[in-house]
Chain A
Amino acid sequence: MIKKILGILKDDGECVYKELPNGMKMRIEDFDLWYGKTQALKSVNMNIKKNKVTAIIGPSGCGKSTLIRSLNRMNDTIPSVRTEGQIWLDGYDIYDDTADCVDIRRKIGMVFQKPNPFPFSIADNIYYGCQVNGMKVDKDEVVKRCLKQAAILDEISDRLGDNALSLSGGQQQRLCIARALAIEPDVLLMDEPCSALDPIATAKIEDLIHELKKDYTVVIVTHNMQQAARVSDYTAYMYLGELIEFGKTKQIFENPKEESTEKYITGRFG
């Protein structure tokens, strides 16, 4: 409470700044999260490198979605959620009282586990982010570019005025990816973006992730080991709300330090 009052009194310029080591985009520090009384994240520490792909793997219910949603403060929308610890973005704590959620989410885009297009036209879906953020852009150009990046333009180029809900599940998911790209975030969070896609679309998305690495920092949750191995530079393995192991993808897959990690990766989990 006192912290909150102090937070209000603080000037914008006065919020805590902490230089992150070179090449680091985000840093999760002693982060705990509770849904009501149950703790879903337990003292997570993790670094997210700039222009790299970080994969989060782990069995169902281990807190992958919870962690990735913490990175752009989407968990704030759930009333029972309480957090402790810090998450740094470019040296600023996004859980600081002076932090502005809207600003954070503008910089950290997100693709959800379930496709959730707006019931607008396809073009309006893409343009929505630019509109609410007051970005002065050419609508046609943005729509075409983002759809192309998300590997869906060819399929639907003649239907841009149609309601987005008329698309198939996989197309909807790629539309959501395109929509997230439209606001040109620094970091892109993807929660199992390929779970509803066929192998061809999945391959396209994986190519896209490779492309995106040049300009963006990507964090991806996946259940697919091959995918994690193919697309990511770093891999985090979670189990029961704890970060068990974190390291270079090559090391995690070829030479895991923890027994639990090895069992999960080789499919002998249980």
Chain B
Amino acid sequence: MSIRKLLAIWIFFVSIVVSIIGFHSLAVQSDIGYWIMAGSLILISLSCHASGIYSYLTKKDGKNLMMVLYGSVILTIASMSFYIPDVLDLRPWEIYARIPDQFFFALIMLLVGIFTSYLSFRPYHNYSKEGAQSGALYVLHVTILLTLLPLFIIIFNIIFRGAGGITYEFLTEDIVSMGEQGGVYPAILGTLAMIALTAIIVLPLGVGTAIYLAEYARKGLAVRLIRTAVNILQGTPSIVHGLFGYAFFVLIVFNGQKCLLAGALTLAILTLPIVTRSAEEALNAVPGDLRDASLALGATKWQTIRKVVVPPSLPGILTGTVLGLGRAAGETAPIMFTAVYFSGAGTPNSLLRPIQALPYHLLSLYRLVGYRDVENQAWATALLLLIIVLGINISAIIVREKYRQRF
């Protein structure tokens, strides 16, 4: 391996470490002093100089001086870092946007680190096109990583803090003394019952609408109106669904009584657009050739839909429905006015009685933190909710992969 490549690898390695330090400091708000930042920038700068000068000496080509130039820019930034607060004149802004030095430094380290590691592909591939190519690929990978990172941080955080609270007692008992003791057994059952009931309501409605849209409606004004309505429904904040559910279902239909059915109806309205959309997509994915084949054999349109179009799109329909239900399972706003009590509802035993549910339990515990000793219980509830929602989503993926139809 040539010295040029070794230098490039060294730059890559150093800049990755720098960006990780920057990211870590951003994530957990730990201090970054002037010296750490200036030091790491100077290290990067010197390495870039070394790489650039070495390649220029071995092969006199103007392109090779790129890294030298870049190294000088970094050196300038590093030397400015002592003055940054004054140079940018951050002080007068402080009341509006508090940007502490450490935040600013961490951000610079993160960005410079990522950019330098991207640049290091150039000298490694001797400034050829391939260098630009693999550098771009690398940046895409970094983007993916940055997208997934929050997800992993959240999941590990919740598992880490919640696992201790999940005990036999927690899973099998009702809430005792405002959640300080006891468990969430009725809330688990309540959430599951609510999801099941929502599914029963939403499946026929959603699939029916989708079949109408995909198979019967000519592409005219009516279809556009229905589709716009579905989109608006999807864009509506869930708290609005909750208030509507309260104003309509609870107050008018059920005489002011919060109940399981009112909550499920509200959640059904919330998930309806998701189910309709995915079902319509699944139906549209069935090739038109098959419809023609069936019609040409003397089948009616309805026979065609029932026997040829719907069966292969069932996995898609189910996946969409389950994903929608996964979302519904975690919602608090639509059920808090329509269906749930924090305590005292017991295990669900009637459609017309209120229930307890995990998301609302979590919200209530969060409100009590500071007044009561419920933090562990709250984390455990969060973990349980996460498990249920992830479980629902994973089962959707399994169904889809197992029964996916290829044409």
Spell out A's residues near B (CB within 8 Å): 72, 74, 77, 79, 101-103, 105-106, 109-110, 112, 114, 116-119, 128-129, 131-133, 165, 176, 179-180, 183
Contacts and interface: CB of A to CB of B under 8 A. Distances in A.
Interface stretch (B140-148, B271-279, B284-292): B284-292
B287 A74 contact: no
Nearest to B296: A110
A119 B293 contact: no
A180 B312 contact: no
B98 interface: no
Interface string B260-304: 000000000000000000000000000111111111111110010
B295 A119 contact: no
Given A119-B405, A165-B406, A77 B291 contact: yes
Nearest to B297: A129
A102 B299 contact: yes
A179 B292 CA distance: 13
Interface centre among B292, B298, B308, B406, by most A CB within 10 Å? B298
Given A101-B295, A119-B407, A128-B307, 13 more contacts: A72-B296, A77-B292, A77-B295, A102-B299, A102-B300, A105-B296, A106-B297, A110-B296, A117-B293, A118-B293, A118-B308, A165-B406, A180-B297
Contact of A165 (B292, B294, B308, B407): B407
**Secondary structure of the B contact surface, majority rule:** helix
A203 B296 CA distance: 25
A105 B298 contact: yes
B59 interface: no
Contacts of A129: 297-299
A89 to B, nearest CB: 14
Contacts of A106: 297-298
Contact of B294 (A72, A79, A114, A118): A118
Contacts of B294: 118, 128, 132
A116 B290 contact: yes
A76 to B, nearest CB: 9
B307 A132 contact: yes
Nearest to B303: A132
Contacts of A74: 292, 295-296
Contacts of A131: 307
A102 B304 CA distance: 11
Interface of B: 218-219, 287-300, 303, 307-308, 312, 405-407
Contact of A109 (B289, B291, B296, B307): B296
Contacts of A110: 296
Contacts of B291: 77
A116 B291 CA distance: 9
Contact of B299 (A117, A132, A176): A132
Interface centre among B289, B293, B406, by most A CB within 10 Å? B293
A243 to B, nearest CB: 23
A15 B383 CA distance: 71
Contacts of B298: 102-103, 105-106, 129, 132-133, 183
A112 B405 contact: no
A105 B406 CA distance: 28
29 contacts: A72-B296, A79-B218, A79-B219, A101-B295, A102-B298, A103-B298, A105-B295, A105-B297, A105-B298, A109-B296, A112-B292, A116-B289, A117-B293, A118-B308, A119-B312, A128-B294, A128-B297, A131-B307, A132-B294, A132-B297, A132-B307, A133-B297, A133-B299, A176-B293, A179-B293, A179-B297, A180-B296, A180-B297, A183-B297
Contacts of A176: 293
A35 to B, nearest CB: 15
B246 to A, nearest CB: 43
A37 to B, nearest CB: 17
A88 B294 CA distance: 23
Nearest to B304: A132
Nearest to A108: B296
Nearest to A110: B296
A176 B312 CA distance: 19
A248 B290 CA distance: 35
Q: Considering the complex of A and B, which 3 residue pairs feature the smallest CB-CB distances, nearest first?
A: A106-B298, A116-B289, A129-B297
B46 to A, nearest CB: 63
A132 B290 contact: no
B33 to A, nearest CB: 65
Contacts of B219: 79
A176 B296 CA distance: 11
A73 B62 CA distance: 72
Contacts of A79: 218-219
A87 to B, nearest CB: 16
A103 B298 CA distance: 6
